[in-house]
Amino acid sequence: MENVVIIGSGCAGWTAALYAARANLNPLLLTGAQPGGLLTTTSTVENYPGFPDGVDGTELMMRMQKQAERFGTRTQYGVTVTRVDFSQPRRGASGFKLWLDDELLESKTVIITVGASHRHLGLKSEDLLERKGVTYCATCDGALPVFRNQPLVVVGGGDSACEEATYLTHFGSKVYLVHRRDALRASKIMAERTLKNPKIEPVWDSVVEEIHDVKQDKVAGVRLRNVKTGATQELACAGVFVAIGHVPSTALFKGQIEMDADGYIICRKGTSTSVPGVFAAGDCVDRTYRQAVTAAGSGCAAAIDAERYLAKLEN
């Protein structure tokens, strides 16, 4: 019987592990299929406190892991939680059940930090040029030297896309906002502010059909297709910022805990889910900020909430 099992190994997961370990809870962290989470796909993180020169995303995750393990966190790689049962009563030897393939694991508390994945365009060139000019976070990557004073493309039409485009005007020479409809889906005030910005040029009724140039191993432009006329056009750019939404990695917990219509876990009273003893933190909860530092903060809160929950069980 474990005290704390943490599912996921991004900023929220490792921070939760650090705090739980320092509280002598001997936590077990299951890394999942992508150890380190989405931040490992970011080449340089320039907005995480304490790193004035920036830090590679993978290196930051490795440092967090080392710090958590220093205080006793146990890490299990290469396994995926395939099923959970959060219905067991919290008495005696019973606990929450997690299956790692065919292996059964039981724990008094569970902290879910599975994160969310960026919604992709579905292009082969997109995958090949990821971290080479294709990115999913302007706040994370927009200030990189490769994008400064260069034309940039943002794909999307919601609030996130408008925020990304506006943010990028501080660095790029021009920002093309490519949207498949003829009007933005963003809130009225956000849409008006975006369209008034002289450095942002909307490209309506269009989708990205290809990202150039795989042969150069860097982004050099895009080919767009008008969804109404079928006409294509080429745009030169140094970066493509895809902002068409996120998909929380929470399908595993459907029917076990309360989630909203988009799959984000609903927390009340801090990081507590609808099941007492099960906590959640990071991007699988946060649909607003989605930053490394906010994920770390919520991981800290989840560990403290779990510690206090366990203390009540013992009293």
147-156 pLDDT, tens digit each: 999 999 999 9
With a cut of 70, say whether residue 101 has pLDDT above it.
yes
Question: What is the pLDDT, as a whole number, of residue 94?
Answer: 67
Mean of the pLDDT values across residues 5-33?
A: 95
Q: Whole-angstrom Cα distance, residue 243 to residue 106? A: 38
For the chain, percent of residues with pLDDT exceeding 90: 77
What residue segments make up the domains of the chain, in order of their start?
2-117+246-314, 120-242
Question: Residue 269, exposed/middle/buried by CB under 10 A (0-12, 13-18, 19+)?
Answer: exposed
Q: 209 in helix, strand or coil? A: strand
Residue with the bigger pLDDT between 169 and 94: it is: 169
Name which CATH class applies to 120-242: alpha beta
Instruction: Give the model confidence (pLDDT) of 195-252 as tens digits.
Output: 999 999 999 999 999 999 999 999 999 999 999 999 999 999 999 999 998 889 999 9
Better pLDDT: 10 or 314: 10
Residues 170-194: pLDDT tens digits? 999 999 999 999 999 988 998 999 9
- Would you state the pLDDT for residue 44? 74
Is 93's pLDDT higher than 60?
no
* pLDDT the model gives residue 39: 81
Question: Tokens 């995958």 correspond to what residue?
Answer: 127
The mean pLDDT of the chain is 93
pLDDT score of 122 more than 90: yes
pLDDT at 30: 96
Of residues 314 and 23, more confidence is placed in 23
pLDDT at position 90, please?
Answer: 52
Q: Report yes or no: 298 and 271 within 8 Å, Cβ to Cβ.
A: yes
Q: Tell me: the pLDDT tens digits for 248-301? A: 999 999 999 999 999 999 999 999 999 999 999 999 999 888 889 999 999 999
**What average pLDDT score do residues 22-45 get?**
85
For residue 198, count CB atoms less than 10 angstroms from its CB and return exposed for 0-12, middle for 13-18, buried for 19 or more. exposed
Which is the CATH superfamily of the domain at 2-117+246-314? FAD/NAD(P)-binding domain (3.50.50.60)
pLDDT band at 137, cuts 50/70/90?
A: confident
> Does residue 111 contact residue 303 with C-beta atoms inside 8 Å?
yes
Residue 36 has pLDDT above 90, yes or no: no
Q: Is 286 helix (H, G, I), strand (E, B) or coil?
A: coil
- Is 120-242 the same fold as 2-117+246-314? yes
Catalytic residue IDs: 137, 140-141
Q: Which two tokens stand for residue 232?
A: 């294509």
Give yes or no for residue 92 having a pLDDT over 60. Answer: no
Of 103, 109, 104, 100, the residue nearest 78 (C-alpha): 100
**Exposed/middle/buried for residue 132 (C-beta within 10 Å: 0-12, 13-18, 19+):** middle
How far apart, in whole angstroms, are the C-alpha atoms of residue 128 and residue 296?
A: 29
pLDDT computed for residue 43 by the predictor: 65
Q: Are 80 and 35 in contact (CB under 8 A)?
A: no
